[in-house]
Homo-oligomer: A and B are copies of this chain.
Amino acid sequence: MAILLTQSEENYIKAVYALQQHHQASVGTNELAERMDTKASSVTDMIKRLSEKSLIQYEKYKGCELTEEGIRTALKTIRKHRLWETFLVEKLKFGWDEVHDIAEQLEHIQSVKLTDQLDAFLNYPKFDPHGDPIPDQTGAIVQRDQSFLLNELEIGAEGVVIGVADSSASFLRFLDRYKINIGTCIQIKEIYAFDDSRAIEIHGETVNLSAAATQKITVQKQQ
């Protein structure tokens, strides 16, 4: 049942999954090429291969979508990626801005037992260091209560950071400088109409965040 995939194939599957989650529709060749940092012609080749293995449903000129099997495969890789990221931060003292590239390598290690033992060792974490949900052995991911972007909160509202919409090292280090992390409590004190920036209170201090920043911070409303 479990088909053997190359690292390249796994990466394509992950990319298709991410894109089709984003816009609820079939995925185009060019956007896949952009995401995979390759050329459209290479994508076409790979899509055909994965279609052969019935992980992707594909019709010429009509884009592609993952099959049920394809989705299961994507979730396995995502599970491994996020477990390793958690391991690196929790156990090996890495910063949350340093772990993605290493996890990109580790996610391809083939051993179900390894994945499950790692999961147990980490105490079955539900979220990775960036607040993204970790699929369990069956591929299930916890569905969260309604969340907001920080720029959707009104003045006076309080939120707890539960994720970031941008996991780039640059943005994560920016958040570090403001001591913003998963779990950090933030209150909106002021919204400046002229540039849509916000004065926010974190850990008792009040600072200003640009619109670009508040659009990338996911929170859950407090009480």
Q: Chain B contacts of A106 at CB under 8 A?
A: 106, 109
A94: B residues at CB distance < 8 A: 113, 117
Known: A92-B117, A98-B113, A105-B110. 7 other contacts (CB 8 A): A88-B114, A92-B114, A92-B118, A92-B121, A94-B113, A105-B109, A106-B109
What is the size, in residues, of chain A's interface with B at 8 Å between Cβ atoms?
Answer: 18
Contact with B along A154-192 (1 / 0, CB 8 A): 000000000000000000000000000000000000000
Copies of this protein in the assembly total: 2
Within 8 A of B (CB), among A73-115: 88, 91-94, 98, 101-102, 105-106, 109-111, 113-114
7 tightest Cβ-Cβ pairs between the two chains A and B: A92-B117, A105-B109, A102-B111, A102-B114, A92-B121, A91-B121, A106-B109
A117 to B95, CA, bound (A): 12
